[in-house]
Chains A and B, each alone.
Chain A
Amino acid sequence: MSKFKKKKSGDLPAISTASLPDIVFMLLFFFMVVTVMRDTSIKVKNRLPYADEVEKLEKKDLIMYIYAGEPSERYQSVAGTEARIQLNDKYASLKDIKQFVFEERQDTREELKQALIAGLKVDKETNMGLVSDIKTELREAEALKITYITRKGEALKNLE
Chain B
Amino acid sequence: MNEALRQLPPLIASHLLLAAAAMALALAIGLPLGFASARRPRLAAISVGFAGLVQTIPGLALLALFYPLLLALSALIGGGIPALGFLPALLALTLYALLPILRNVVAGLRGIDPAVLQAAEAVGMTSGQRLRLVEAPLAAPVAMAGIRTAAVWTIGAATLATTVGYPSLGNPIFAGLQIERWDLVLAGCIAAALLALVSDFLLGLIERGIARRDRWRTLVGSALLMLGLGLACLPLLRGPERTVTIGAKNFSEQYILARLIGLRLERAGYRVAYREGLGSAVAFRALASGDIDVYVEYSGTLWTGTMGRTDNPPRQAMLGGIAHWMDAGPKTGLVGPLGFENAYALAVRPDSGLASIAELAAKAPDLTLGTDLEFGNRPEWRAIRDAYALRFKATRAYSPTFMYRALQSGQVDVISAFSSDGRIAADRLTVLDDPKGAMPHYDAILLASPAHAKDKPFLAALRPLVNRISVADMRTANFSVDRDSDKQTAEAAARWLDLRTRR
Q: Do A and B come from one complex?
A: no
